A and B are shown apart, each in its own frame.
Chain A
Amino acid sequence: MILRAAAAVFVKDLRTEWRTRVAINALLLFAFSVLVLVGYAVGPTRLTLEDRPVVNSVLLWIVLFFSAMTGLSRAFVNEEETGTAAALRLSAPPAAVFLGKLLGNLALLGVVMAVVVPLFLALMSFGIAAPGLFLAVLALGGVGIAAASTFIAAIVAKTAAKGALFAVLATPLLLPPLVAAVTGTQIAATQPDLVAGLDAVRLLFAYDGLMVTASFFLFDAVWRE
């Protein structure tokens, strides 16, 4: 029942997004601009070999993090601005709204990652020694970013200074998974051994689980406010 309603919310968001494609275009353009800037300023050859894994991992996650900060607040800000939040509140249970919006943000971030990550690897000549670990870190980091962003978007949509507040509120929450994701990426770039990155993966996994559960239960109070 809740899952079906969540799917309905998700499909509704996909459909409205498909009509204009504003969010996805803005996100991709932004990510691409940052990518060009990074690629031009740092480039594949400017770094020494030993610096590459560290600097490239940080830059990759900065690009992803900033893209998330520009685009993912739309999930709820849009509903409040167009006045459709009340209708949504009436027609779907809060749990379904949260899950639907979370899926929407995950899809958005997934598309951005699918475009940005290969481009980044190519532009920066950033080699990955353990692709499995790299994909796991990307997926788990993406879930963490999407979960925290969805919840913060719901809070921010009810305040006066929506855009400015979103990054301020989300950054402290996202610092732990970002630190783990950067470390995990760095390990994936240098060590072909999967076990080396286990600590980072474990930390990301625990964070994702806790963040999704906590925001799922707290969302009720925020959404009804």
Chain B
Amino acid sequence: MQVLGTAGKVVLGLGMAVVLWAAFLYAHPAESFVGESSRIVFFHVPTAWISALAFLLAALHSGLYLKTRKMERDDAAAAAARLGVLFCVLATVTGSLFAKVMWNSYWNWDPRQTSIVLLLLVYGAYLGLRQAIEEPERRATLSAAYALIAFVSVPFLMFAVPRMYASLHPDTVINARGRIEMSPDIKLVFFSSMIAFTALFAWMYALDVKATRLVRRLSERAGGFEA
């Protein structure tokens, strides 16, 4: 069975194309940003949101694995972590490009930059742990426990520390004043981009979960541990 039918693929492809077009040609550059640099918000924020969402999914499925001991949960957690790395790298790179244009340096250890590096480290450690254990059930249990304990630690750098130190990062979308401060055209493109990227991630995620499950079933049938 296909994860996404032809109609779905067409809608997703067209949607992404329209978002790309609108990001560069329809939306106006926002005020108080250097040149056209504000356009990166249409790519940076969705990828950052998905790297957090993927981490949430990995932690959720890890918790459910420990509860139900079903290997499908472990497949889902592993796939979420793998895709999370991809989107986390994209968010880091786009953020760094923006930092170069706005603040004239690619990297200055702004609290937001620190927290995204922490997220990358956690993803890396989680996947490294998975590689170090051969036996599937043991790998599932130990990596689930690690994902959950990391889930406790990450919010500290994601939310607590940026509030403790002054950050140059532009206001997050949901800011302290509780309002979304964007002009209407930017707002439209921004939320379309969020939806398009999330749909793209959902598709990739479903594919990866399916592939992981098939590989696991094959190796179970072969009686080996390699996957």
Contact = CB atoms under 8 A, between A and B. Distances in A.
A172 B132 CA distance: 17
Main secondary structure of the interface of A (DSSP, over half): helix
Interface string A190-202: 0000000001100
Nearest to B132: A159
B132 A160 contact: yes
A2 interface: no
Interface in B123-148: 124-125, 128-129, 132-134, 137-138, 141-142, 144-146, 148
B129 A222 contact: no
Given A165-B132, A175-B121, A221-B66, A211 B153 contact: yes
A169 B125 contact: yes
Main secondary structure of the interface of B (DSSP, over half): helix
Interface string B163-189: 010000000000000000000000000
A197 B148 CA distance: 30
A210 interface: yes
Contact of B125 (A168, A180, A211): A168
Contacts of B156: 176-177, 203, 206-207
Given A165-B128, A168-B125, A176 B161 contact: yes
Nearest to B122: A172
Contacts, number: 94
A206 B160 contact: yes
Given A159-B133, A161-B132, A171 B121 contact: yes
A155 B145 contact: yes
26 contacts: A152-B149, A155-B146, A158-B138, A159-B132, A165-B132, A168-B128, A169-B125, A169-B128, A171-B121, A172-B118, A172-B121, A172-B124, A172-B125, A175-B118, A175-B153, A175-B157, A176-B157, A179-B114, A180-B161, A199-B164, A203-B164, A206-B156, A211-B153, A214-B149, A214-B152, A222-B145
B150 interface: yes
Contacts of B145: 151, 155, 218, 221-222
Contacts of A158: 133, 138, 142
A221 B157 contact: no
B156 to A, nearest CB: 4
A158 B142 CA distance: 8
Given A151-B149, A168-B124, A218-B148, 13 more contacts: A152-B149, A155-B142, A160-B134, A171-B125, A172-B125, A173-B150, A173-B153, A175-B121, A179-B161, A199-B164, A210-B152, A211-B152, A225-B141
A35 interface: no
Contacts of B128: 165, 168-169
Contacts of A180: 161, 164
A148 interface: yes
Contacts of A161: 132
B129 A176 contact: no
B138 A225 contact: yes
Nearest to A151: B149
Contacts of B160: 176, 203, 206
Contacts of B152: 210-211, 214
Contacts of A70: none
A78 B144 CA distance: 23
